[in-house]
Amino acid sequence: MTTDQIILFCLFGAVFGMLLWGRFRYDIVAFSALMLGVVLGVVPSAEAFSGFGHPATLVVALVLVVSAGLVRSGAVFLITRTLVDASRSLGAHITLMGAIGGVLSAFMNNVAALALLMPVDIQTARKAGRSPGLSLMPLSFATILGGMVTLIGTPPNIIIATIREDSLGEPFKMFDFAPVGGVAAIAGLIFVALIGWRLIPARADACAELEDIGSYVAELVVPDDSKHIGKRLGELEDDADKSDVAIVGLLREGKRRYGRARNSELRAGDAVVIEATPDALDEFRAATGLAVADAEREEKLHAAGEGVEIIEVVVTDSSRLVGRTAQSVGLAWRQNTVLLGVSREGVRITRQIRKTEIRTGDILLLLVPRDTGADVTQWLGCLPLAERGLAVTADDKVWLAIGLFIGAVAAASIGLLYLPIALGLVVIAYVLSKIVPLSELYTHIEWPVIVLLGSMIPLGAALESSGGTELIAGWLVTLTNGLPAWAVLTVLMVVTMSLSDVLNNTATTIVAAPVGIQMAQTLGVSPDPFLMAVAVAASSAFLTPIGHKNNTLILGPGGYHFGDYWRIGLPLEVIVIAVSIPAILVFWPL
């Protein structure tokens, strides 16, 4: 073993140890290791930052932006509203949500897919009167499984493809992972839907703390060209139920309609009074095509070109709004701001929102020009609520967003465009069409992951160039000497899977993929089955809440304990290995 190999093994050992310890964030650990590698001379200075321009790093960043665009356009609402129903049995719900999550995560980042579906799952659980913990873990595992199917579904696949290009001259294509990843995903989803969820310990609803997210009384106006004109108010109930919105009344010409309001035929200019959380309000607005109460002001805000955002503020006793209405203080024409809703604890608001006198302690939901939230809040004399990532769905651009994305995937799949270029063009189109506001372009990129990738790639390259991966491969080949091919692949998958359960799957892939190539070269066989084994194994982190970000995301909302994951995760990992090995040998023969 050479000095460089010893230093690199120590660096990787230190990185893995620090990641297991969890005292410092993974990006700081990885970047520190990179800098130390440069200082110790095992990473050339000229190559120190090559990982930040690596195709794998760029694709991960672009996928996150594209995922945000699909959310902002309402593409996910289109899917979930059509398919999700709280009246289904738990098994049927898990099957359906798992299938939706698996399909979504195949074509967008699987962390983003879970982030989109988790609120839907929690709301459905509440409506059904059960704990979200019974369905959140199956949903998390389904999104992880679905990511195995395509190149862009999960970072390990992206890294595997680029490592293959560096080593063998050609990357894996978009759907090269589908035969093996698809078999593993289908088998895993069947297990999770039929058996896995039954292994989750029953506990009290851990999402009770989420109930304190207040509901607002808001108004949505029927536009002149609305498809709902002539319909009865009660016909909006189905859309309201799906969005978790309560319809509380109807305003016509500024006056409340009493009596049988739900039987009233809707007219242009009518205002539907609802009670909803901010996200539910936006979903209901996007689904029905209704407009905010001050539609003219909203159009002017959008026409200004900078975009809009939603903020929440608390009215203090010194606010200029106390005892006055939004209309009387000139909120619309002075600050270009639209009052969307008012939350007043324990009090039913019966007047038009903009003509309602504001009281101390009221929480206001405001639509403001982008990047002016702080100025508007200060002018009002209010206090801002903690940022909740509220956004305005650009529902009129849903098919444009979907079409651009499908076009890019198709172009990359047939080799017409290089994947990073195709995704880059989608991002540019999303920005130009204002699906993703320019000011939010970089906020959707998970920079710690980018730093982790950019730091670990040069270290992985140094380990390979120093002969370190060849050394590890030699040890594994010696360990599996005389065993059949399926046993060698099984050992590689078990080792990779074990690392991925306790470490970041990106770091695991960067180390394990070159080892797989080296093992194949030592045995004189094709490296592709070994790379596929690493790809599936690195994504199969089901035993702990720290192995994959999706597992971490559900830990609190699901009320899980650290040891709950292995109950489903252990048999699931065994199933993944059992079905993947034969699939690899069939679709990627040695």
- Say whether pLDDT at 488 is over 80: yes
- Say whether pLDDT at 529 is over 70: yes
Q: Residues 460, 422: one domain?
A: no
CA atoms within 13 A on the CB side of 580: 35
Average pLDDT of the segment spanning 512-526 = 87
Q: How many distinct structural domains can be found in the chain?
A: 4
> Any bridge partners for residue 382, and if so which?
315
Q: Per the domain annotation, does 173 fall within a domain?
A: yes
Average pLDDT of the segment spanning 124-140 = 84
Q: Residues 428, 449: one domain?
A: no
Q: Residues 60, 123: one domain?
A: yes
Burial class (CB in 10 A: 0-12, 13-18, 19+), 362: buried
Q: Per the domain annotation, does 87 fall within a domain?
A: yes
The predicted pLDDT at position 207 comes to 45
Task: Give the confidence band of 38 by pLDDT, cuts at 50, 70, 90.
Answer: very high
pLDDT digits (tens, 9 = 90+) for 49-100: 988 887 768 877 887 788 778 777 877 667 666 666 767 888 888 999 999 8
Domain that holds residue 404: 395-436
pLDDT digits (tens, 9 = 90+) for 152-209: 888 889 889 988 888 888 888 888 999 999 999 999 999 998 998 888 887 655 444 4
In this structure, of 22-31, 251-260, 526-535, the range with the lowest mean pLDDT score is 251-260
Q: Residues 189, 178: one domain?
A: yes
CA distance 95 to 89: 10
Average pLDDT of the segment spanning 280-304 = 68
The predicted pLDDT at position 537 comes to 94
Q: Residues 424, 505: one domain?
A: no
Q: Residues 163, 140: one domain?
A: yes
Alpha helices (H) in 178-236, listed in sequence order: 178-194
- Say whether pLDDT at 500 is over 70: yes
Q: What CATH number has the domain bearing residue 230?
A: 3.30.70.1450
Q: Per the domain annotation, does 581 fall within a domain?
A: yes
Single out the residue in 265, 292, 319 at which a domain terminates: 292
Q: Residues 347, 358: one domain?
A: yes
Averaged pLDDT score across all residues of the chain: 81
Q: Contact, 366 vs 326, CB < 8 A? A: no
The predicted pLDDT at position 146 comes to 92
The predicted pLDDT at position 354 comes to 73
Q: Per the domain annotation, does 209 fall within a domain?
A: no
Task: Give the confidence band of 547 by pLDDT, cuts at 50, 70, 90.
Answer: low
CA dihedral 523, 526, 528, 530 (to 10 degrees): -10
Q: Residues 177, 54: one domain?
A: yes
Which residues neighbour 532 within 8 Å (Cβ) at sequence distance 6 or greater? 177, 180, 580, 584, 588
The predicted pLDDT at position 181 comes to 92
Q: Residues 269, 323: one domain?
A: no
| More confident site: 412 or 534 | 534
The closest alpha carbon to 502, from 20, 144, 21, belongs to 20
Single out the residue in 387, 409, 427 at which a domain terminates: 387
What is the Cα 447 distance to its own chain's centre?
Answer: 14
The predicted pLDDT at position 256 comes to 67
Q: Residues 92, 107: one domain?
A: yes
Which residues neighbour 469 within 8 Å (Cβ) at sequence distance 6 or greater? 463, 511, 514, 515, 517, 518
- Say whether pLDDT at 527 is over 70: yes
- Say whether pLDDT at 530 is over 50: yes
DSSP, residue by residue, 349-399: --S-GGGSPB-TT-EEEEEEETT-HHHHHHHHTEEEPPP-------GGGHH
- Say whether pLDDT at 278 is over 50: yes
Q: Residues 571, 463: one domain?
A: yes
Q: Contact, 146 vs 113, CB < 8 A? A: yes
Q: What are phi and psi of 474, to 5 degrees?
A: -65, -40
- Say whether pLDDT at 293 is over 60: yes
pLDDT digits (tens, 9 = 90+) for 321-366: 888 888 888 888 788 888 888 887 655 565 677 778 888 878 888 8
Residue matched to tokens 């995704």? 423
Q: Residues 195, 130: one domain?
A: yes
- Say whether pLDDT at 230 is over 80: yes
Average pLDDT of the segment spanning 136-147 = 92
Task: Give the confidence band of 586 by pLDDT, cuts at 50, 70, 90.
Answer: very high
